[in-house]
Amino acid sequence: MVDFLLTDEQREFQQLARQFAAREIKPFAAKHDETGEFPREICKKAWEAGLMNTHIPEEYGGLGLGSFEGGLIAEEIAAGCTGIGTAMEANNLAEAPVILAGTDEQKKKYLQPMTEELIFAAYGVTEPGAGSDVASMKTTAKKVGNEYILNGQKMWITNAGVAHWYYVLAVTDPGKGHKGMSAFIVPRETEGLTVGKKEQNMGQRASDTRSITFDDVKIPAANLLGAEGDGFKISMGAFDHTRPLVSCAAVGLARSAMEAALQYSLERQTFGTPIFNHQAVNFMIADMAKDIDAARLLCWRSAWMIDKGLRNTKEAAMAKAFAADTAMKVATDAVQIFGGYGYSKEYPVEKLMRDAKIFQIYEGTSQIQRVIIGKQLLAEMKVPARV
């Protein structure tokens, strides 16, 4: 039975997030975009409203919501501002591996406090020389007695500057490729760990992106997540839970751009009529509406699948690729509909176009999503991919 009706609880979360975005995010979005200031106060209010860390299980003080509810919230928050939304939502990506692979003790130590006060965490996998090709990363973790010693560098880590702890993927057995990688929780206040300067990004400028350097960073062996060699699997498995959310955020941005374009097209007149009445313009808006709906349905399906315990790697990649590409196209077309005004910072759509771009890059580029879809298709046919 397929049912597109939201439950009362889901609708309440959606409404709460929608009202929060309208009241606490949208009015401050331009300021944070201009200054790049991290939106700590807004995050604090969102945390108090129960809109952050929503998937931490109830036994650790969280709401234990699924990816579906997380996605509903992510779309609404993103409709307010995706820079502020990314600052809020990055915790989900750092927490997901701990929820999936952490011991009871690790969950109590690292997840529970996040339900008691506003704490940030960050997911550290990408390196200066390895992004899409995760298996070629170089950061090492060497076991010495009851500790691991980490050396290397991570790059482009969202919320690195504000995080209390990091999820870190490192090589423990260099001869074994991706099966020689292990996952760790690394507390911020550890000797030898340094955080780089905030990157000056094109869009989503309220979010904080930095490098992290590990110089003989010693952490207890108890901070290993899962078993040695499980790291790659844990890191990729987390994406099955978080890609539906980030895809929903792309839908939220696209929705905002479409609403702005529609409104403007009804006000702006050329040749004696609102530009909406020119078919070339209203077809662009019709395409926006159609693609946004299609993207949302892909997002909802992929979130629903993982919440039901079904493998959704292909569907989450489809949602991510389609929603990210839709956000980019809709935002670009919105700028077109605004004409010269679309190119100006005085109007909202140029920010949306800059903000949209990163959806095609982080949490796996749009090309990598297609690589994943292709691999999964072959796996479903049980045909070996040619090396």
Ligand X SMILES: Cc1cc2nc3c(=O)[nH]c(=O)nc-3n(C[C@H](O)[C@H](O)[C@H](O)COP(=O)(O)OP(=O)(O)OC[C@H]3O[C@@H](n4cnc5c(N)ncnc54)[C@H](O)[C@@H]3O)c2cc1C
* 3-state SS assignment for residue 212: strand
- Of positions 305, 362, 369, 373, contacts ligand X by CB under 6 A: 362
First to last CA, the chain: 40
Verify binding: residue 365, ligand X, rule CB under 6 A.
Answer: yes
Verify binding: residue 260, ligand X, rule CB under 6 A.
Answer: no
**Strand ranges (DSSP E) for the chain?**
120-124, 140-144, 147-158, 163-171, 181-187, 193-195, 209-220, 224-225, 269-270, 273-274
Q: HEC string of 272-308?
A: CEEHHHCHHHHHHHHHHHHHHHHHHHHHHHHHHHHHC
As given in the structure block, the two tokens for residue 384 are 């070996």
Verify binding: residue 237, ligand X, rule CB under 6 A.
Answer: no
The H or E element spanning position 173 is none
Q: Which one, 154 or 296, has the nearer CB to ligand X?
A: 154
Q: Are 48 and 108 in contact (CB under 8 A)?
A: no
- Of positions 185, 261, 358, 372, contacts ligand X by CB under 6 A: 358
- Of positions 101, 149, 150, 157, contacts ligand X by CB under 6 A: 157
Distance CA 331, CA 26 (A): 17
Q: Which stretch binds ligand X (CB under 6 A): 22-30, 218-226, 363-371, 377-385?
A: 363-371
Applying the rule CB under 6 A, the residues between 58 and 97 that interact with ligand X are none
Q: Which residues are catalytic?
A: 363
Distance CA 94, CA 124 (A): 8
Beta strands 269-270 and 181-187, pairing class: unpaired
- Of positions 368, 369, 372, 373, contacts ligand X by CB under 6 A: 368
The three-point CA angle 97-231-177 to 5° equals 155
Which residue number places its CB atom closest to ligand X? 131
Verify binding: residue 322, ligand X, rule CB under 6 A.
Answer: no
Verify binding: residue 305, ligand X, rule CB under 6 A.
Answer: no
Q: Which one, 156 or 214, has the nearer CB to ligand X?
A: 156
Distance CA 180, CA 175 (A): 7
- Minimum Å gap between C-beta 14 and ligand X is 26
Amino acid at 223: N
Q: Which stretch binds ligand X (CB under 6 A): 53-61, 106-114, 131-139, 292-300?
A: 131-139
Verify binding: residue 126, ligand X, rule CB under 6 A.
Answer: yes
Q: Which one, 131 or 252, has the nearer CB to ligand X?
A: 131
- Of positions 92, 182, 209, 326, contacts ligand X by CB under 6 A: 209
Verify binding: residue 132, ligand X, rule CB under 6 A.
Answer: yes
Q: Which stretch binds ligand X (CB under 6 A): 17-25, 70-78, 116-124, 339-347?
A: 116-124
Q: Which one, 90 or 275, has the nearer CB to ligand X?
A: 90
Q: Which one, 168 or 303, has the nearer CB to ligand X?
A: 168
Verify binding: residue 165, ligand X, rule CB under 6 A.
Answer: no
Q: Are 127 and 154 in contact (CB under 8 A)?
A: yes
Distance CA 28, CA 147 (A): 44
Verify binding: residue 156, ligand X, rule CB under 6 A.
Answer: yes
- How does DSSP classify residue 384? P
Using a CB cutoff of 8 Å and minimum separation of 24, what contacts does 314-317 make? 314/372, 314/373, 314/376, 314/377, 314/380, 316/239, 316/240, 316/243, 316/244, 316/247, 317/243, 317/364, 317/369, 317/370, 317/372, 317/373, 317/376
Verify binding: residue 39, ligand X, rule CB under 6 A.
Answer: no
Q: Which one, 190 or 365, has the nearer CB to ligand X?
A: 365
Q: Which one, 139 or 158, has the nearer CB to ligand X?
A: 158
Footprint of ligand X on this chain (CB under 6 A)?
122-126, 131-133, 156-158, 201, 209, 358, 361-362, 364-365, 367-368, 371
